[in-house]
Structures are given as structure tokens and as C-alpha cells.
Amino acid sequence: MKKLKFNHLAIWCCIILSQIIPLAWYSIFQGRWMTLNDLTQEYIEANQSSWLFAISILGGILSIYVLAWLFRRLPVESGRAGLITGLIIGAAFNMVSLVTINMFSFRPVELAFIDGGANVLVFAMAGLILGAWRKYESLPAGTEEREVSYREKTETV
């Protein structure tokens, strides 16, 4: 029996990609994004901080590891399944939230699609990579992997 394990090389490739995709995405939509946010280049340069990039990297690490953790529990057995799952997760948990937040904040919905589009693309590409580039560990013959319930854990204590 095989058990899916974390493929740290694939995960770190996805983390790097989670920084590259938004860079490319926002370079395409920079002008419109700045207009919708009522920002100027001077304001951005005056208020830019290395903390922004540190938080971005930490967020990428957390989100990609959580995605990999989910893939170990879901039936994601191919790059195609990973792409679809990542796309759904990115759209459902990110895009929908941003659209709702922007609508209640009376901000342009277009801004949610610019901001959320980068994240949906990151999750879709990370899903593709994690789904296609899987690693397994072999379990000893005759053993089966099973989840232990909370009740079973507490009864043995």
C-alpha cells in the first residue's frame, strides 16, 4: 500500500511560483489596479516596505503547504485533478471573499477580479504541479492507513 507524502521540492517550486505569478499579473494590470485603488507611483514608493514582501512569502509558504496537506486527504491523483481542485479552492475561498468584501466596502468589483485573479491562478498552477508531481511512501505489507478518531485517541489515554 502507498501513502502520499509531502513532496517538498514540488511545494517549494509552487511557493516560488506564488511570488512570480502575482509579479507578472500585477505588471499587466498595474495601471488599472492603481486607478481603482486611487494610488500614485509616488505614494507606493514612499510607503513600500520589506515587510510587504516578507508577509507575501510567509503567506505563500502557509497557503501552499495547506494545499499540499489537503491534497493528501482528497482524491487528487493527477495534474488535471490538481488543477481543477486548485482552481475551485482559489475561486471559492479567495475570489468569492474578495468580491463580497469589495461590494460591502463600496469598492469596484473589478478590483476584486484583479486581486483575486492572481490568487486563483496561483492555486490552479500549484494544484497542477502538486497533483502531477506526487511522492509516495510505502507502508509495510499487510498494514492499512486509517485515520484515528478523536474518541479512539482519548479512550487510550
Indicate whether 144 belongs to any domain. no
Indicate whether 29 belongs to any domain. yes
Indicate whether 149 belongs to any domain. no
Indicate whether 80 belongs to any domain. yes
The answer to whether 139 and 2 have CB atoms below 8 angstroms apart is yes
**Cell numbers describing residue 128:** 497542477
pLDDT computed for residue 146 by the predictor = 56
pTM, two decimals, is: 0.83
What confidence tens digit (pLDDT) does each residue in 7-21 have? Answer: 999 999 999 999 999
Q: How many domains does the chain have?
A: 1
What confidence tens digit (pLDDT) does each residue in 50-60 have? Answer: 999 999 999 99
Burial pattern 4-32, b for ≥16 Cβ within 10 A else e, equals: beebeebbebbbebbeebbeebeeebeee
pLDDT computed for residue 4 by the predictor = 77
**Domain extent for 126:** 2-43+50-138
Indicate whether 87 belongs to any domain. yes
What confidence tens digit (pLDDT) does each residue in 76-86 have? Answer: 889 999 999 99
